[in-house]
Amino acid sequence: MHSVPEPGRVRTTRRDAPTPPRGSGVSFVMPVLNERAYLRRAVESTLEQRIDGPIELVLALGPSSDGTTELARELAAADDRIVLVDNPRADIPVGLNLAIRASRYPTIVRVDAHSELAPGYAAHALDTLARTGAANVGGVMRADGRTPFQRAVARAYNSPIGLGGGAYHGGRREEEAESAYLGVMRRAVLEEVGAFDESIRRGEDWELNLRIRSAGYRVWFDPELSVTYWPRDSWHRLARQFHATGTWRGELVRRYGLKNSLRFFAPPALVLALVAAVVVLVLQLTGVLAGAGSLVASLVYVPIAAYVALVLVVAAGPGGGKGWRDKLWTLAVLPTMHLSWGLGFLRGVLTGAQETVDTSRLSGRNTPLP
């Protein structure tokens, strides 16, 4: 499928991506599914971008059930820069590839319907691409919320404790990166490496960037680039999202092993430590473990106690928000993210992701299809 041999083997020498002439234009691509509450502002923040050259926005429409498709058609009728394509499979990488194939310009900007681009985002990204010779440039995901729960999730996203400290969750130094949030990409490189792998439903951006780096190109992080992201707005949607994401990360570990960052292994380690602690506790309460053996086995509680203490400290501090309600939501959100992700990861490693989908925007359905 892809032209790059052994995508897990990353070249240590780098080559510059082709730089199109100034004014060649930019294609924004956005997969969309059940995003009526967020789509209008996402589209507006995209079309407000000002660059030297033409722009277009290609929306890949999944089978939404909340009026998103009707809103997208209304927006497209009002602005001829908006192009609509159908994505009946609903999967994100499929939608991205459909949108890319339907687009015209030599630079591709991925946009999420749950996000808003900062003013000047595209122009600055184009400058960074040209200056660094990178094939893909990304910036900081600045999570925000409209409700107390969503703001608690946003604080977790913006904290190194919440999502493990990836550069795009708060990095401050411009540098070469493992992956890029959303990404501003050169079409020529996407065509060379094979675009998005449609067999991967979550983590498709990480896998694409692995192939880009394997082909010898740079993936670049620029903290001056900023995107506002609106996370899931309810507990069960958050848990479903993180379980699916963890499952697919487990699948990527099956495929690429330790090419995955070590930080991805922390949540499953927490789950295993918790299981071990429960087993030891039951054995102690039933008298199977006693004496010196019980004392030694009690060491399994140490990482759990350390984790609980860490979460309490984060919730009690500035990272927990203002007021007791914010802090209680933080206490609920952090373990939900970590344990859901960790359980999914273990499932993915043991059995593979198979047909796992993120159902967090599907109103309870277990498949993105009607």
Q: Which two tokens stand for residue 53?
A: 């050259």
SS3 185: strand
Q: Given this model, what pLDDT does residue 6 score?
A: 52
Q: Which two tokens stand for residue 316?
A: 């009690």
The set of residues, in sequence order, having a beta carbon less than 8 Å from that of 354 and lying 6+ positions away, is none
CA–CA gap between residue 340 and residue 143 (Å, rounded): 19
The continuous run of DSSP H or E covering 336 comes out as helix 323-351
Q: How many CB atoms are located within 10 Å of the residue 47 CB?
A: 16
| 29 bridge partner residues | 58, 110
C-alpha triplet 340, 341, 346: angle, nearest 5°: 100
pTM for this structure?
Answer: 0.87
Question: 228 — phi, psi (to 5°)?
Answer: -85, 130
Q: Given this model, what pLDDT does residue 1 score?
A: 38
Q: Which two tokens stand for residue 261?
A: 């960052």
User: Please, are residues 125 and 109 in contact by the beta-carbon 8 Å criterion?
Assistant: yes
CA 281 to chain CA centroid, Å, is: 36
Q: Given this model, what pLDDT does residue 319 score?
A: 86
CA–CA gap between residue 82 and residue 328 (Å, rounded): 42
From 205, 203, 240, select the one nearest 219 (Cα to Cα): 205
Q: How does 182-215 read in b/e, with b if 16+ C-beta sit within 10 Å?
A: bbbbbbebbebbbbbbbebbbbbbbbbbbbbbbb
Q: What is the pLDDT along the chain (370 residues), one digit of tens a residue?
A: 344 445 556 566 789 999 999 999 999 999 999 999 999 999 999 999 999 999 999 999 999 999 999 999 999 999 999 999 999 998 999 999 999 999 999 999 999 998 999 999 999 999 999 999 999 999 999 999 989 999 999 999 988 888 765 555 556 789 999 999 999 999 999 999 999 999 999 999 999 999 999 999 999 999 999 999 989 889 999 999 999 999 999 999 999 988 888 889 999 999 999 999 999 999 999 999 999 999 999 999 999 999 999 999 999 998 898 888 999 999 999 999 999 999 999 999 999 998 888 877 665 443 343 3
C-alpha triplet 260, 100, 223: angle, nearest 5°: 50
Q: Given this model, what pLDDT does residue 164 score?
A: 62
CA–CA gap between residue 106 and residue 104 (Å, rounded): 7
The set of residues, in sequence order, having a beta carbon less than 8 Å from that of 344 and lying 6+ positions away, is 242, 243, 244, 245, 246, 247, 248, 249, 250, 356
User: Please, are residues 204 and 128 in contact by the beta-carbon 8 Å criterion?
Assistant: no
The set of residues, in sequence order, having a beta carbon less than 8 Å from that of 356 and lying 6+ positions away, is 201, 202, 244, 247, 248, 344, 348
CA 72 to chain CA centroid, Å, is: 23
C-alpha triplet 168, 12, 134: angle, nearest 5°: 45
Q: Given this model, what pLDDT does residue 12 score?
A: 61
